[in-house]
Structure 1
Amino acid sequence: MAGFLDNVRWPEWECIDWSERRNAVASVVAGVLFSAGWWVMIDAAVVYAKPEQLNPAFHTCGVFSTLAFFMINAVSNAQVRGDSYESGCLGRTGARVWLFIGFMLMFGSLIASMWILFGAYVTQNTDVYPGLAVFFQNALIFLSTLIYKFGRTEELWT
């Protein structure tokens, strides 16, 4: 059962050379997802302008997700591996701690957005769209972080 996909041939697209455009495609896709996340939340804030409908404190999850996006992508993979970062505040250990804090902020805000969705909207039998907007904002920012961090190559930067 372990190798049941070993003999499957995936289609190869010779017409598209992804090696030259991988960074650009990953950056554009991550940017579209990031802006779509904020677009959904801004839409919910405009439609549900009263504090009883959408508590202004619920925007905190998106702010922390955005902060975590910048923290995670400020550290390159080479710095975490220790290939190019020998000096600085803490060297490779400092880069790893910074990345760990960024991922903890990202996961914490994603979990908090799920808590807001279910705790403030689903169980209260109110309109659920503001809670979905908070969740989808954080989920889209999380996906854009992963695509931007791990979808790009670093050969062009070194």
Structure 2
Amino acid sequence: MANLLENLNIPPCIWFEGEARRNSTVSILSGLLFFMGWWMIIDAASVYPGTVAAGYHMCGVVGTLSLVMVNSVTNAQVRGDSYDAGCLGSRGARIWLFLGFVMGFASVIAACWILFADFVGAKEASQWPGVALFMQNALIFVSSLVFKFGRTEDTY
């Protein structure tokens, strides 16, 4: 079965060379996911005023801060190839990256907690603000992952 597609020759696509534009495509996709996340929570807060408490927005702020923390460290700094200065060197970059991921996971978990604790069980209120809050944090986290691991170069 492994030899079935071995001799299949597919001609290269001349009009689209994705590898040369990979970083810009990943950046656009990441920005679009980030925008969609914030747009959902802004929509929920404007359509259902008073249902999204001010404290609920902290999940999105922490998720955005996580995105900045995760993507401010290059892969070369984490590997220790290009960064050996500072008081911690590559170990400090790894700690910074770890704290960024912890904050991202925490914001997604907190949004999921708020969704099920305050919106799923409530019969009189709409569930869309809770779903929007969860989707905001999930999209911000996915945007962070796409931007961090989708790029080919370590240059920003």
Q: Same fold (TM over 0.5)?
A: yes
CA distance change for structure 1 residues 83 and 130 in 2, over 3 Å: closer, same or farther?
same
Which residue of structure 2 lines up, in the alignment, with residue 133 of structure 1?
Answer: 132
Q: Which amino acid in the other structure matches residue 75 of structure 2?
A: N
Cα deviation, residue 69, structure 1 = 0.2
Cα deviation, residue 7, structure 1 = 5.9
Which residue of structure 2 lines up, in the alignment, with residue 39 of structure 1?
Answer: 39
SS in structure 2 of the partner of residue 114 of structure 1 = helix
Which residue of structure 1 lines up, in the alignment, with residue 56 of structure 2?
Answer: 58
Cα RMSD for the two superposed structures:
2.3
Post-superposition CA distance 1:108-142 (Å, at most 9, x none): 00011100111100022231000001000001101
Structure 1 distance, partners of 2:101, 2:25, is: 23
Paired residues in the alignment total: 152
Structure 2 distance, partners of 1:84, 1:22, is: 23
Structure 1 distance, partners of 2:111, 2:11, is: 39
Under a length normalisation based on structure 2, what TM-score does the superposition of the two structures give?
Answer: 0.89
Q: Which amino acid in the other structure matches residue 108 of structure 1?
A: A
Tell whether 2:107 aligns with 1:112. no
Cα deviation, residue 48, structure 1 = 1.7
Task: Give the gaps of 5 or more residues in structure 1.
Answer: none
Cα deviation, residue 47, structure 1 = 1.2
Under a length normalisation based on structure 1, what TM-score does the superposition of the two structures give?
Answer: 0.88
Which residue of structure 1 lines up, in the alignment, with residue 85 of structure 2?
Answer: 87
Q: Which amino acid in the other structure matches residue 14 of structure 1?
A: C
Q: Which amino acid in the other structure matches residue 146 of structure 1?
A: L
CA distance change for structure 1 residues 103 and 13 in 2, over 3 Å: closer, same or farther?
farther
Which residue of structure 2 lines up, in the alignment, with residue 148 of structure 1?
Answer: 147
Q: Which amino acid in the other structure matches residue 85 of structure 1?
A: Y
Task: Give the gaps of 5 or more residues in structure 2.
Answer: none
Regions of 4+ moved over 4 Å: 4-9
Cα deviation, residue 17, structure 1 = 1.1
